């Protein structure tokens, strides 16, 4: 039933909340393998302890009430949460006291309980252990409240560290609406500082409906530049945020990572709501958040929660309505996330078809190269200014590179000859290269291939590659006249005007279709 230590602690915190406590203290003595949890809630008298706490399945809502005396929404429902307390230690002592009553309690020993179960003993035959003086001493002179002492903690729990603080902060402290409810862990109150590293790694934020009461959201919205709000017709509030890299979500020191979780009345009810969307998009691995939908535990009295204590009945109509609303919101967030990431010169969502593969690849290449030059704010500004033009030029260069080399291969395949003016161009550039190498005292070969074709640019290659007969329309050479001067500007790393970009894109579309036809006809005839 209870997957980890955080869930067990959560049961104790939930009980304290439902008991109208304002303070709950959790202390772990790792050397003794002990843990003590104390709250200042209403506590229990002997009748409450016997007939409510020790009764498996007793619900605080049995009288129809949905809130505590102070108006807090009840977190507990099924009356089985107390079983969690038995799952992490060899024995537990419960010491409790209501106002104007005596201290009551017992010790539950797991070995004795196992023996009684094995022997099929009845309630009358099995007796709980008596409290010892040390248990009562630890309770002190409190007028009311409950103490739970765990002895013989499991090794993994006894070694609990700062990761536990972060988990408590995320899953409990800042999920509850009453800011006067304090949780103290190992002598130190759980505060926003315990989520400092997660807040620091948060890059973008989206709030869901009005979430002004969430202290954590207020905190991170002040730290980041980008915060947007999403509306839904449902009475839901919460947030979805994203971190800079996926590993930032592994903040709790476990194999699990924090995701977008569902809370009802301040209690974690379903982890990773994205599992219901079946999109498997890249942004999902960057996102975390909390969705609060208290109406799932509403006045209709329907029990929508599984006995696992961390699950909801998936085909419930009200839950499916929530998933349907969130699906559209998350879709919008993913598109905005991609836009924001690209604006920040970071990798985005390759599955977002609003950005072409060519443009996305160009952006990635530019970002990878440019990051080595961000040495100060002034240079960063220059790099940001170059970004859009660079991305266009990167893609254009790739198109030129592929197009011209395919034409060279095509010409060799067809065994066309280089004659007339084309021969003179080859000779001119070979001579210039020889002179340049001599001036640079450069003795190494530069070109991988020294064929004459590699001294000709697109304009001259087009004249050789496209025959004037045989059914080919004599237009590739015409396109080359427009293409070449803009192509040369790209090859010389010049920034282009918007008019030149549009013209280059248009003429290359024509060039590409004609070259594809040349290559296809060549392969068909082969």
Q: Domain check: are 232 and 379 in the same one?
A: no
Q: How confident is the model over 81-107, as a mean pLDDT?
A: 85
| Domain stop point among 343, 368, 392 | 343
Same-domain check for residues 367 and 329: no
pLDDT at 148 over 90: yes
Per-residue model confidence (pLDDT) at position 299: 65
Mean of pLDDT over the chain: 85
pLDDT tops 80 at residue 169: yes
Contacts of 269 (CB under 8 A, 6+ apart): 262, 263, 296, 305, 310, 311, 312
Mean per-residue pLDDT, 252-267: 77
Q: Are residues 44 and 122 in the same domain?
A: yes
pLDDT score at 213: 75
Highest mean pLDDT: which of 34-43, 209-218, 351-360? 34-43
- Percentage with pLDDT > 90 across the chain: 40
Q: Are residues 338 and 413 in the same domain?
A: no
Range of lowest pLDDT (121-125, 289-293, 437-441, 477-481): 121-125
Tens-place pLDDT, residues 210-252: 777 788 888 888 888 777 899 999 999 999 999 999 988 875 5
Q: pLDDT band for position 137 (50/70/90)?
A: very high
Residue by residue, DSSP assigns 448-472 as S---GGGG--HHHHHHHHS-SSTT-
266 & 325 share domain: yes
Q: Between these two residues, 172 and 338, which has the higher pLDDT value? A: 338
Residue at which a domain ends, from 318, 343, 368? 343
Inform me whether the pLDDT recorded for 165 exceeds 80.
Answer: yes
pLDDT, greater one: 106 or 81: 106
Shared-domain flag, residues 376 and 503: yes
Residue 91 has pLDDT above 80, yes or no: yes
Cβ neighbours around 51 below 10 Å, total: 11
pTM of the model: 0.77
In this structure, of 26-30, 57-61, 401-405, the range with the lowest mean pLDDT score is: 57-61
- Domain assignment present for 32: yes
How many distinct structural domains can be found in the chain? Answer: 3
> Which two tokens mark 458?
């697109």
What pLDDT is stored for residue 524 in this prediction?
57
Answer whether residue 438 is part of any domain. Answer: no
Contact between 271 and 259 under an 8 Å Cβ cutoff? The reply is: yes
Q: Contact 50/59 with Cβ under 8 angstroms?
A: no
**Do both 10 and 70 map to the same domain?**
yes
Same domain, 339 and 361: no
Co-location of 46 and 92 in the same domain: yes
Kindly tell me if the per-residue pLDDT of 440 is higher than 70: yes
In a domain, 509, yes or no: yes
214 and 77 in a common domain: no
364 and 328 within one domain: no
pLDDT-based confidence at residue 77 (cuts at 50, 70, 90): low
Classified as helix, coil or strand, 244 is coil
Task: Say what the pLDDT of residue 300 is.
Answer: 64
**Is residue 434 domain-resident?**
no
Do 212 and 314 share a structural domain? yes
Cα dist from 426 to 270, 411, 420, 433, whole Å: 70, 15, 10, 11
The CATH number of whichever domain residue 197 belongs to comes to 3.30.230
Q: Provide the domain limits for residue 511.
A: 357-418+456-525
The predicted pLDDT at position 521 comes to: 72
pLDDT band at 2 (very low <50, low <70, confident <90, very high): very low
What percent of the chain is modeled with pLDDT above 70? 87
User: What's the CATH code of the domain at 125?
Assistant: 3.30.565.10
DSSP 355: S
pLDDT > 80? residue 22: yes
CA angle 220, 21, 94 (to 5 degrees): 120
């Amino acid at each position: 039933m209870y997957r980890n230590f955080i869930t067990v602690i959560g049961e104790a915190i939930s009980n304290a909340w439902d008991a109208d406590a304002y303070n709950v203290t959790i202390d772990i003595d790792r050397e003794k393998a002990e843990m003590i949890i104390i709250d200042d809630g209403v506590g229990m008298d002997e009748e409450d302890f016997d007939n409510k706490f020790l009764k498996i399945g007793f619900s605080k809502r049995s009288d129809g009430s949905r809130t505590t005396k102070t108006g807090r929404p009840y977190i507990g429902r099924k009356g089985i949460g107390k079983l969690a307390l038995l799952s992490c230690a060899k024995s537990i002592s419960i010491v409790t006291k209501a106002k104007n009553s005596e201290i009551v309690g017992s010790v539950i020993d797991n070995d004795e309980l196992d023996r009684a179960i094995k022997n099929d003993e009845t309630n009358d035959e099995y007796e709980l252990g008596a409290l010892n003086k040390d248990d009562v001493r630890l309770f002190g002179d409190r007028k009311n409240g409950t103490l739970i002492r765990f002895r013989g903690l499991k090794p993994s729990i006894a070694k609990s560290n700062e990761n536990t603080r972060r988990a408590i902060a995320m899953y409990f402290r800042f999920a509850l609406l009453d800011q006067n409810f304090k949780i103290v862990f190992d002598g130190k109150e759980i505060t926003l500082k315990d989520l400092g590293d997660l807040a620091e790694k948060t890059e973008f934020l989206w709030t869901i409906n009005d979430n002004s009461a969430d202290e954590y959201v207020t905190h991170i919205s002040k730290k980041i530049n980008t915060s947007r709000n999403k509306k839904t017709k449902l009475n839901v509030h919460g947030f979805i945020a994203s971190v800079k890299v996926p590993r930032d979500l592994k903040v709790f020191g476990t194999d699990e990572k924090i995701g977008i979780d569902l809370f009802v009345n301040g209690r974690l009810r379903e982890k990773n709501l994205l599992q219901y969307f079946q999109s498997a998009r890249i942004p999902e691995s960057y996102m975390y958040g909390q969705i609060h939908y208290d109406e799932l535990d509403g006045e209709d009295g329907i029990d929508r929660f599984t006995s696992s204590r961390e699950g909801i009945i998936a085909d419930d109509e009200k839950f499916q309505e929530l998933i349907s609303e969130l699906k559209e919101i998350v879709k919008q967030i993913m598109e905005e996330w991609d836009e924001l990431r690209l604006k920040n010169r970071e990798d985005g969502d390759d599955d977002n078809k609003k950005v072409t593969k060519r443009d996305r690849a160009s952006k990635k290449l530019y970002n990878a190269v440019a990051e080595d030059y961000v040495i100060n704010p002034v240079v960063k500004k220059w790099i940001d200014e170059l970004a859009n033009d660079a991305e266009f030029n990167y893609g254009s260069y790739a198109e030129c590179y592929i197009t011209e080399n395919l034409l060279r291969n095509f010409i060799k395949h067809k065994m066309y000859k280089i004659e007339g003016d084309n021969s003179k161009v080859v000779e001119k550039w070979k001579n210039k290269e020889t002179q340049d190498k001599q001036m640079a005292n450069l003795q190494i070969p530069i070109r991988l291939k020294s064929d004459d074709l590699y001294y000709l640019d697109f304009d001259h290659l087009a004249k050789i590659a496209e025959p004037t007969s045989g059914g080919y329309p004599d237009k590739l050479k015409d396109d080359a006249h427009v293409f070449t001067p803009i192509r040369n500007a790209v090859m010389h790393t010049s920034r282009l005007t918007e008019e030149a970009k549009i013209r280059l894109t248009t003429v290359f579309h024509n060039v590409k279709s004609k070259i594809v036809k040349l290559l296809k006809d060549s392969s068909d005839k082969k």
